[in-house]
């Protein structure tokens, strides 16, 4: 098979040219980074778990009418997605104070917020993804006011969906981050949920024990990250029970 053309290598995923125009193959690596890649490790099996979990969430979103870039999972580590232009924003939704917000506002982690709060960071590693006011977004031309209205409504719909799904398996959705892409169809553009939705980009706490089941386990050295992600996958029925996430080499079609 001819080697595929690599389009982009990020911290947790590599993107390759897809088999047809307008498609991309998204490969989930085992690399874990935190604090803008100051902390790094390779966590065997993480890529497989995130590939499966992201597929599960993206398909679920499509089922409730939220457009996503996801087309299909190809194998244990790869999925086919629609190529889109990523808006350079991290769209963060918070239901409970945690992480940078808890620190910034001096609120104890786990405190329920009066309502979901949506905030935006400018995606720029060199600047450390700074939080930006909405006014910057239109002024610097990253997204129009109409886009921002659509992004807010998508973010809140994703929050309702994910909160409900997680609640159903005894997990509290503390916060999460999504990225939004533009898909062009002739003269029209449409916004879709892109990138990934996985425990790398969410905070997930067990409802009863408040045990962390997300990337904070790695950021804060709280134990095994694969155990935490496997727990989420098992509760959702995403990984068949007893099947180890650490895959043997698989043939790529
Ligand atoms: P924060 O509290 O560190 O700002 O993170 C808020 C949410 O966004 C949390 O669920 C983790 C997620 N997140 C990412 O997915 N990527 C990032 O680079 C950062 C900083 C946070």
Measured between alpha carbons, how far is 84 from 180 in angstroms, rounded to an integer?
A: 9
The reply to whether 100 and 130 lie within a common domain is yes
Assess if residue 79 is contained within a domain: yes
Instruction: Tell me what percent of the residues of the chain surpass a pLDDT of 70.
Output: 94
Residue 53: closest CA among 172, 202, 220, 160: 202
The reply to whether 22 and 59 lie within a common domain is yes
The reply to whether 100 and 37 lie within a common domain is no
User: For 183-230, how does the pLDDT look when each residue is reduced to its tens digit (9 = 90+)?
Assistant: 999 899 999 999 999 999 999 999 999 999 999 999 999 999 999 999
> Is the confidence at residue 9, as pLDDT, over 60?
yes
The reply to whether 107 and 177 lie within a common domain is yes
> Is the confidence at residue 246, as pLDDT, over 90?
no
Q: How far is the CA of 177 from the centre of ligand 1 (A)?
A: 6
Assess if residue 252 is contained within a domain: no
> Is the confidence at residue 242, as pLDDT, over 60?
no
Beta-carbon contacts of residue 209 (< 8 Å; ≥ 6 apart): none
What is the residue range of 145's domain? 86-206
Give the residue whose CA is nearest to atom 2 of ligand 1: 99
The reply to whether 73 and 99 lie within a common domain is no
The reply to whether 79 and 92 lie within a common domain is no
Helix count and strand count (H, E) for the chain = 6, 14
Give the residue whose CA is nearest to atom 5 of ligand 1: 99
> Is the confidence at residue 241, as pLDDT, over 60?
no
Measured between alpha carbons, how far is 90 from 80 in angstroms, rounded to an integer?
A: 22
Measured CA distances, 249 to 27, 44, 76 (Å): 14, 13, 10
Q: What is the pLDDT of residue 69?
A: 98
The reply to whether 77 and 124 lie within a common domain is no
Q: Could you give the number of structural domains in the chain?
A: 2
Assess if residue 246 is contained within a domain: no
Assess if residue 242 is contained within a domain: no
Q: What is the pLDDT of residue 248?
A: 55
- Nearest ligand 1 atom, CA 131: 4
> Is the confidence at residue 251, as pLDDT, over 70?
no
Q: What is the pTM of this model?
A: 0.94
User: For 44-69, how does the pLDDT look when each residue is reduced to its tens digit (9 = 90+)?
Assistant: 999 999 999 999 999 999 999 999 99
Name all residues whose Cβ lies below 6 A of ligand 1: 92, 98-101, 129, 175-177, 201-203
The reply to whether 199 and 130 lie within a common domain is yes
Q: How far is the CA of 31 from the centre of ligand 1 (A)?
A: 16
Measured between alpha carbons, how far is 84 from 185 in angstroms, rounded to an integer?
A: 11
Q: What is the pLDDT of residue 239?
A: 79
Higher pLDDT, 3 or 171: 171
User: Model confidence at 79, in pLDDT bands (50, 70, 90)?
Assistant: very high
| CATH number of domain containing 72 | 3.30.200.20
Q: Which residues pair with 148 in a beta bridge?
A: none
Mean pLDDT, rounded, of the chain: 95
Neighbour count for residue 180 (Cβ, 10 Å)? 24
Q: What is the pLDDT of residue 3?
A: 74
- The stretch 80-86 carries a mean pLDDT of 98
Long-range contacts of 133-138, Cβ-Cβ distance < 8 Å, separation of 24 or more = 137/89
> Is the confidence at residue 245, as pLDDT, over 60?
no
The reply to whether 131 and 49 lie within a common domain is no
């Amino acid at each position: 098979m001819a080697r595929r053309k690599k389009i982009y290598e990020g911290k947790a995923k590599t993107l390759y040219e897809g088999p047809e125009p307008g498609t991309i193959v998204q490969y989930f690596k085992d690399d874990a980074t935190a604090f803008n890649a100051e902390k790094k490790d390779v966590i065997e099996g993480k890529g497989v778990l995130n590939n499966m979990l992201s597929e599960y969430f993206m398909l679920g979103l499509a089922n409730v009418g939220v457009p996503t870039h996801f087309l299909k999972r190809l194998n244990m580590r790869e999925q086919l997605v629609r190529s889109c232009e990523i808006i350079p924003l991290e769209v963060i939704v918070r239901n409970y104070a945690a992480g940078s917000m808890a620190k910034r506002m001096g609120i104890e982690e786990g405190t329920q917020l009066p309502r979901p709060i949506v905030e935006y960071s400018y995606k720029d590693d060199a600047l450390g993804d700074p939080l930006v006011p909405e006014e910057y977004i239109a002024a610097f031309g990253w997204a129009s006011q109409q886009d921002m209205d659509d992004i807010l409504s998508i973010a809140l719909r994703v929050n309702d969906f994910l909160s409900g799904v997680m609640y159903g398996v005894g997990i509290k959705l503390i916060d999460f981050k999504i990225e939004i892409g533009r898909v062009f169809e002739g003269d029209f553009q449409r916004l879709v949920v892109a990138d990934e939705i996985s425990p790398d980009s969410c905070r997930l706490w067990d409802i009863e024990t408040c045990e962390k089941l997300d990337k904070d386990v790695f950021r804060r050295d709280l134990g095994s990250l694969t155990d935490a992600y496997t727990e989420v996958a098992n509760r959702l029925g995403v990984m068949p029970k007893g099947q180890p996430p650490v895959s043997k080499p698989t043939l790529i079609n």
